[in-house]
Structure 1
Amino acid sequence: MYTIKNYHFAESVDEVAALLQKSRANTVLGGGTWLRLGERNIATAIDLSHLGLDQITETEEEITLGAMVSLRALEQSTLLQTQFGGLLARCVRHIVGVQFRGLATVGASVASRYGFSDVITALLALDTEVELCPGGRLPLAAYLQQPPARQLLVAVHIKKDGCTAVHTSHRLTETDFPVLAVAAARCKDGSFRISVGARPAVAQRCPQAEQAAEANGPEAAGEAAAEMLQFGSNTRSSAEYRKVLAKVLVTRALTELAEKESLAR
């Protein structure tokens, strides 16, 4: 369990950023889903619930997910059920259960850089930026490559570029963490974005698979992903099995994507 000395309701994102810089023992609370899975002493727990960051908003150019948007909100959003082929609404449907998805947040999932995150895998297949305080906006892929810093992840911004996308995964049981997860998107110019997560490291795009998909189709892309990405072993799977799965799931995702595009014509 966590031990908290002070509990603070932040009134602005700048206030949160100042508190994070003040002490490494000050911590932003996300959904609180892992409170019982470890021990940690927190000087000041920072609650974001007064900042209005639990909203999904839309402009002509992009969709914005506030940091406190829950995974259940992603699943239930009528907007997200129609955008990007329903990718964001579908990618969370296997995550533990409704109660858990009602607590877990987008911001915590991304900021924690969880290797098993279906949300990160899906967002990488889209044209996604994160908004930080301090730091401003930068591409999600670049953010994931940086070491964790004392910043507040304020929101996730997704460009409405007209892409169609799909998500698939392999799990040992229906609501377990993924053994491997894949998201694939087809852009209007015919190019692809392919990301592979739960390797078990954090999700990563595979440019070689994207190029192979455009030139030679789904099976070639699957082979490229299996060869070019690095895989590791943990209690759920060996690296060798993940490599085989990558070929299968990338091929499957791209085949499903082609079928979805055909039905949309």
Structure 2
Amino acid sequence: MGRITQYYHATSLEDAFAKAKQLGPVAAYVGGGVELVLRRNPEITTLIDLSHCGLDYIAASREGIEIGSQTTLTTISRSADIRQYAGGSLAWWAGHIAHNNLRDMITVGGVIGRNQPWNDVVPHLVALGAQVRLFDGTERITPLSDYIEAKQPGAIIKGVLLSAGNAGSRGFLWRFTRTQQDISTLHFSALVNCDGKVMTAANLVFAGRPGHAALYPRLSEELVGKSLSHETFARLAEMAPDLVEVGTDLRATGEFRRELVRAAIVNLDEHMTGVAQ
């Protein structure tokens, strides 16, 4: 692995972006630094530190909640605003993913920027309908699901936006692992909105398939307009293994992951119908 020859402390987003543009592919932004330590591109020789760019914040407004990209999982897990958002699913899982020492280092911008297939934060944010605020000389906002499909090198992730429109929905996350600190063999996240006992909107996301996070609109369509009942989820559990693309790697076979897809829907059933009762 190549040596780091420069560690640059950026004083602003403009300063950081200008430095990255000047150096090109040999430079990388530093969030919490966890991924750079474990899996750094050997061509990178300069790290651009964003810790002095004012990106460590959680701000609530009428439009929703914005989480600065330098905010750690620990801070997210302790936020009163995020604990009240979509049933508190993001806050709860931010406090249970990985080891507590790592949660003090892992930042939301870092996990989005690297977006490893086994990442548990990104798919849940996608299910929550999150958007990202980017800076590449000017600010712009794009859906997180679009960003992870076509990342733009050099752009700085300034923050993540959670819409107020989803605040009253129910977030759900289920991950199959051997231990709490292990990476997911399969990840499933969902956001479901109900009007009484009828589901009016839904986002269903699978990751660790072993591919990256992906929305499954066809599965969501099976829930919208349907009653919140065991029968509805039983039908979904039967069709989901045929619609979710899974594969085989060193951790699990595709056949085993198809069974996990079914189990994920069963867990969603128990969660949602339990809430309804």
Query: TM-score w.r.t. structure 1 length?
Result: 0.91
Preserved contact between residue 208 and residue 224 of structure 1 (Cα < 8 Å): no
What's the counterpart of residue 17 of structure 1? 17
What's the counterpart of residue 27 of structure 1? 28
For the residue of structure 1 that corresponds to 2:222, the secondary structure is helix
Match of 1:212 among 222, 227, 238: 222
- TM-superposed CA distance for 1:69, in Å, is 0.7
Larger mean Cα displacement after TM superposition, 99-108 or 69-78? 69-78
- TM-superposed CA distance for 1:245, in Å, is 0.4
What's the counterpart of residue 97 of structure 1? 99
Write the letter of the residue equivalent to 1:177: I
Preserved contact between residue 2 and residue 45 of structure 2 (Cα < 8 Å): no
What's the counterpart of residue 127 of structure 1? 129
- TM-superposed CA distance for 1:96, in Å, is 2.2
Match of 1:146 among 127, 137, 150: 150
What's the counterpart of residue 209 of structure 2? 199
Preserved contact between residue 116 and residue 198 of structure 1 (Cα < 8 Å): yes
Preserved contact between residue 166 and residue 185 of structure 1 (Cα < 8 Å): yes
Q: Structure 2 unaligned segments of length 5 or more: list them.
A: none
Match of 1:70 among 72, 90, 114: 72
Match of 2:113 among 111, 114, 120: 111
Match of 1:88 among 87, 90, 95: 90
What's the counterpart of residue 47 of structure 1? 49
Q: For 1:155 and 1:167, how far apart are their aligned partners in 2?
A: 22
**RMSD between aligned alpha carbons?**
1.9
Preserved contact between residue 205 and residue 213 of structure 2 (Cα < 8 Å): yes
CA, structure 1 residues 118+24, in 2 after alignment: closer, same or farther (shift >3 Å)? same
For the residue of structure 1 that corresponds to 2:267, the secondary structure is helix
For the residue of structure 2 that corresponds to 1:31, the secondary structure is coil
- TM-superposed CA distance for 1:148, in Å, is 4.8
- TM-superposed CA distance for 1:41, in Å, is 4.7
- TM-superposed CA distance for 1:48, in Å, is 0.8
Preserved contact between residue 168 and residue 249 of structure 1 (Cα < 8 Å): yes
Give 1:174-193 correspondences, 5 Å limit: 174-187=180-193, 190-193=200-203
Q: For 1:202 and 1:2, how far apart are their aligned partners in 2?
A: 27
Preserved contact between residue 16 and residue 46 of structure 1 (Cα < 8 Å): yes
For the residue of structure 2 that corresponds to 1:167, the secondary structure is strand
Question: What is the aligned residue count?
Answer: 262
CA, structure 1 residues 3+118, in 2 after alignment: closer, same or farther (shift >3 Å)? same
Q: For 1:45 and 1:144, how far apart are their aligned partners in 2?
A: 22
Q: Structure 1 unaligned segments of length 5 or more: list them.
A: none
Query: TM-score w.r.t. structure 2 length?
Result: 0.87
Preserved contact between residue 2 and residue 36 of structure 1 (Cα < 8 Å): no
Q: For 1:12 and 1:137, how far apart are their aligned partners in 2?
A: 19
